[in-house]
Every structure is written in structure tokens, then in C-alpha cells.
Amino acid sequence: MAGVGNKGRFLGEINVVPLVDVVLVLLIIFMVAAPMMVQGLDVKLPATDSGALKTSEELLVLTVTQKGQVYLDEFQVGLEGLAGKLKNITSRKPGTRVYLRADKDVPYGVVVQVLAEAKKAGVENLGMVTEPERVPPPEKKKKS
């Protein structure tokens, strides 16, 4: 009668192995799916040899796509309404830095119009975003 004392009693321990298995599977699913959820604007930036941007301040990014569309952060904005939106943002947060990302194939006139709208809005800190210039690695000399 080995089981007489256990009749009618429940096991008071939680089996954590299936819980850990489910959590690990969910973790792997989210790790794989997270990079696919990132949305952005495809812009080919011009390459320069300037240094990396080091800032911890609040910043605003103006993007001009190859088709001439203007985005304020990730929201599309018409060129005619850009100055008003920038003025509203910079008046609430003085000293906000604005960075301009323009596709390298955008006509210069469109970039100048965006710069003029930013100036009209009273933006004082305006920077240009570029990609680092790609330098080919030095060739290895062959031993003779």
C-alpha cells in the first residue's frame, strides 16, 4: 500500500520546465521578428569623412527622399506646412537640434527649399547627416 497516504492530495509544486520552454520559444520568435518590424525611410546619404555624431540631446530629423517627399522624423509633411510645424516644436523645446538627411539624388533646389523653411521657422541648430566615406582596405603585398 505505497499510495495510500497520497490519495486525494494534490502535488503542491509547479513544473517549470514547460514554462521555461514556452518562454524561450517566445524569446526566439521575438528576436527573429523584431528586426523585420523596424520601419524607416530609404535614403542614400552622400559619403563624407566627417566624424560620428555624438549627442544625447533631443533631436529632430528632417528627411528628403529621392522623390522629393519631406518627412519630419517619420511623419510626412508638406513643404508649405514645414515651417509652422518646426516653429511649434522648437518653441516648446528651445535648443532642439534639427538634422537634415537628404538623398544624394535629390535636386539641390529641393534641399535649399527645405533649408529655407527651417530658417523661416527660426531653427538655429541645423546639421547635415552623411554616411562615412568607405575607404578600401590596403592591399597586401605578396612575398616574392
- Chain segment 88-100, per-residue pLDDT in tens: 888 887 778 888 8
H/E segment holding residue 7: none
Is 59 among the domain residues? yes
Range of the domain at 68: 47-132
Cell numbers standing for residue 28:
526566439
Find the DSSP H helices in the chain: 17-37, 82-92, 108-120
Q: What is the CA radius of gyration of the chain?
A: 28
CATH number of the domain that residue 96 is part of:
3.30.420.270
Is 42 among the domain residues? no
Is 57 among the domain residues? yes
Q: What is the pLDDT of residues 88-135, one digit of tens each?
A: 888 887 778 888 888 888 888 888 888 888 888 888 778 888 777 666
Give the chain's domain count. 1
